[in-house]
Structure 1
């Protein structure tokens, strides 16, 4: 079944990127500074607080994927988008809205709120990522669909990531974090509602979910070679990007000594995606998704490595390096997202069993793990460097802390991206639908 998707469906599906982009960006950008510089939590403890609730998704996402597989034939995956998306919006507002309290109570509030966010995000993200494999069997059409999604995702990341620190700084203090949370929470809710409403008329095909427990399907999913290689590559890069995003605010304030530059630096990193994502999509059609992914990864890694000069070169050079890294980052979002549904659909076609949800559940679990470990790695670097946590006071940071921040934005991500290029070499050819007949299909809606 080669289905050309309507523009309305493409826009509707892509709007879900507003929710995933906003939530995937802002906590990674501001939660660690919120803990260390607004609540006065030590760097090591703050790193654990950022990591542990998100680690819940590593266990939860495959379960969500299996559940959505079971329900897809009867109810479709859209109910997950509505319930999970709205729950995520509420949880995000709560995350930055804790009452003035002693450190232990404040930390407990953040942990519980972040855990609620993790559950809601799993309910939204896993079915959302699974949908492209079921909407069409045409790999080119999936690339087009994912190009729309990445373009919207880039806008969401840019708007939320640039406006969040600006709102925080304009209002000031913990009240600034609360105002920011309300604004971003509204973005998340709008994105979730857009995806739910925009895919209402989708006419795709779902391979019936097979019997058997989650453990069996996890083993089979991880036994798919190309999926395993692609997952390892993506997790390493998510870890690299998570570390870079967590370091942005610290780099602007402490290394560049320009507190208001957080939004500019972030915009330089994300903004290029608005221009280059369609170009990456064209490259996928001409040179193949794997080759495009390798080129994008190389750009990201090289530009990140160059940023080790931050603080010793003009600020404009750092912004330019961030922009080059952003060009690579756009491709590193598009290509694996386009390759995943190809792999999932091919697995369903070969086996006659629907493990799309399980595959995407494992995928999003890996992505979540990488993005959660990124800030944790930065927190560890800060602790080793002697970073001084405060409750809103301006203090001078020791040289070791400045070095830790710079490394967290530059060489550490660059090394991770270099390793990911080695894993990507093991991926096979770009997925192409097999002409073999597909198993009997059911309408998902």
Structure 2
């Protein structure tokens, strides 16, 4: 039997562009705090490293509660704008402001500064959830055609890659615009520019999806949060994939948090944060077609193992940076970026497999439940990476400071930076390789014309 002929697209190019714009919010809010917030607190607000790690982590753990709640609220919303877009508008109106306040740099230091940043970051995480959760739900409701939905998500991935490159390179460059170490004023400038980018992408997506077709929304989950977690626990493939993804995301988050320290204390040039990030993101934009081919040749699990080994190998190789210098670090990070590209692409593809098989075997549409939980837990793990790295700094005796009173770090702190950027993430990624060997998903024989008839 053959698959049915492809249908004409039902989502216009303008709507695709409008939807894709929203991914600038996704990538920017994920990259900039992960890259700069911990360093900003320890080196500009004199917040102890362990406390700064808690501040970065706590608001993101809040996502475990707020993300599923926003998903349920939007499912039940009835308005002339549809169920999702009112919540997107609420997020667009609040996230740019709260993001700026995180880096506003009030005249506070130590614990008071940590409390201020923590409160603002909690508000920003809430505003982000208002936009992001409904935004991620929209592709399933704009078209019922599997291939067209994949096309929509490809646009999203392209925008995410571009936005990650722009924000990850531009934000550190703005921070260093007043000197190699940055100033509170340069952080405020960065916050203003990124807030404008957030506003433009979020409002652009809100207005750009005004004419998006709606083929029907998932049924509301009336069972509450406990029922949502029960649905996830009942799917072993989802559980293994989620744990695998969180392990990999933990390593990525640690490396993002460590990057400014690695540039400043290992390479000896804080401005190297920008070029290191470029070396990381460049392969992510260029090697996606390669990973698609490898996944077809070696199966997705085999390609995931290869990608993770490249990720781990490049990270471990960066341990030799003190011997060979900054150029060597950039070469190692290029290898890391190539591995991360494969890891991220295959995570999304394997998640699509899990959702498709769940729908085929249970007869229930639970894509929103799985995606909402995935997003919430992954967000919390991302923040936990900063906490782990902050703890490593504390164990190494890292001394927090203010810009006007720089301190010389002890050798143990410099070593802690190197280990936290290289050895620990490399071991975590090796652990994910073992988890990948445990991941088993038997896709049922596809029925012609069904969603499973299409490749993930």
Per the normalisation by structure 1, the TM-score is 0.90
Residues 146, 334 of structure 1: 8 Å contact kept: no
2:249 to 217, 238, 241: 238
| Aligned partners of 1:227 and 1:343 also within 8 Å | yes
Listed one character per residue, the Cα deviations across residues 64-119 of structure 1 (whole Å, up to 9, x for unaligned) are 23333334899332333232233222211110014213433322210110000111
Residue of structure 2 in register with 1:31 after alignment: 37
Identify which of 401, 417, 425 aligns with 1:390.
Answer: 401
Aligned to 2:306: 295
What is aligned with 2:389? 378
- Residue 402, structure 1, aligned to residue 408, structure 2: no
Does the 8 Å contact 1:137/1:433 carry over to 2?
no
Decide whether the 8 Å contact of 2:49 with 2:394 is kept in 1.
Answer: yes
Kept after mapping to 2: 8 A contact 1:63/1:361: no
Provide, for residues 378-400 of structure 1, a one-character-per-residue CA deviation record: whole Å limited to 9, x for no partner.
Answer: 10000000111110133221111
Shifted more, 137-146 versus 329-338: the winner is 137-146
CA distance, structure 1, for counterparts of residue 78 and residue 290 of structure 2: 34
Matches within 5 A, 1:191-210: 191-203=201-213, 204-210=215-221
User: Residues 39 and 207 from structure 1, CA distance in 2 versus in 1: closer, same or farther, beyond 3 angstroms?
Assistant: closer
CA distance in 2, matches of 1:109, 1:201: 40
TM alignment of 1:11-410, pairs within 5 A: 11-71=17-77, 75-136=82-143, 140-171=147-178, 172-203=182-213, 204-284=215-295, 288-392=299-403, 393-410=405-422
Q: 1:435 offset after TM fit, Å? A: 3.4
**What displacement does 1:365 show?**
1.4
Residues 403 and 144 of structure 1, relative CA distance in 2, 3 Å threshold: farther
Aligned residues between the structures: 439
RMSD, aligned CA: 2.7
Of 5-14 and 112-121, deviating more is 5-14
Question: Per-residue deviation at 1:135?
Answer: 4.2
| Deviation for aligned residue 1:429 | 4.0
Query: Deviation digits for residues 10-51 of structure 1, max 9, x if unmatched?
Result: 433322221011110111111011110000111111111111
Separation in 2, partners of 1:363, 1:397: 39
Unaligned runs of 5+ in 1: 440-445
* Distance 1:211-1:36 versus aligned 2 partners, 3 A rule: closer
Q: Is the Cα–Cα contact under 8 Å of residues 98 and 121 in structure 2 kept in the other structure?
A: yes
Q: Distance in 2 between matches of 1:13 and 1:278?
A: 23
Change (3 A) 1:205 1:422: farther
Deviates more, 1:126-135 or 1:394-403: 126-135
Q: Following the alignment from structure 2 to structure 1, what is the Cα–Cα distance between the partners of residues 432 and 119?
A: 33
Deviation at 1:372, TM superposition (A): 0.4
Q: 5+ unaligned residues in a row in structure 2: which ranges?
A: 452-456
SS in 1 for 2:219: coil
Please list the CA deviations of residues 315-371 of structure 1 after superposition, one character each: whole Å capped at 9, or x if unmatched: 111101111111111222222223334433543454444433221221011111111
> Are the equivalent residues in 1 in contact too, given 2:314–2:336 (CA < 8 A)?
yes
